[in-house]
Amino acid sequence: MADILTLHGNTFLEQLHSTFSVMTGNGTPVELELVEVTEKETPANVELFSLLFRGPAAPRLQQQTHPLQHKKLGTLEIFLTAVEGDKTSTTYEAVFHRLRQS
């Protein structure tokens, strides 16, 4: 499993429009596309960025930490929140707000 503390906004920006798989409780994978990476300007010792993933309308993932599998990044534990949805898709957000590692 990858250490999420070693991954930064640029790491995810390099993976924009790639696919992340999430295993659901019934064992069926849900494919999420990384569609946006937003980095906010912060003091030098703070890191703040967000990720938006787009997936199918159903099944809708619960707001919680999910293991996401990616072909280059490996398995990542990321807290996802559904922020938008319609009949065709659901958009999930992950927010990272932390002190930079020295």
CATH number of the domain to which 11 belongs: 2.40.10
Q: Which of 80, 27, 88, 79 is nearest to 55 (CA)?
A: 88
Q: Is 86 domain-assigned?
A: yes
- Where is average pLDDT lowest: 5-9, 14-18, 22-26? 5-9
Q: Are strands 74-85 and 89-99 parallel, antiparallel or unpaired?
A: antiparallel
Q: Is 99 domain-assigned?
A: no
Tell me the per-residue pLDDT of 19-55, one tens digit each, with 9 for 90 and over: 999 988 778 899 999 999 999 887 888 889 999 999 9
Q: Is 101 domain-assigned?
A: no
Q: What is the pLDDT of residue 8?
A: 82
Residue-number span of the structural domain to which 11 is assigned: 4-91
pLDDT at 5 over 80: no
State the DSSP code for 16: T
Q: Which helix (H) or strand (E) holds 77?
A: strand 74-85
Q: Is 41 domain-assigned?
A: yes
Residues forming a β-bridge with 98 = 47
Q: Is 29 domain-assigned?
A: yes
Q: Is 100 domain-assigned?
A: no
27, 44, 55, 87 from 31: Cα distances, Å: 13, 35, 6, 16
Question: Domains in the chain: how many in total?
Answer: 1
Query: Could you tell me the pTM of the whole model?
Result: 0.90
Q: What is the pLDDT of residue 75?
A: 93
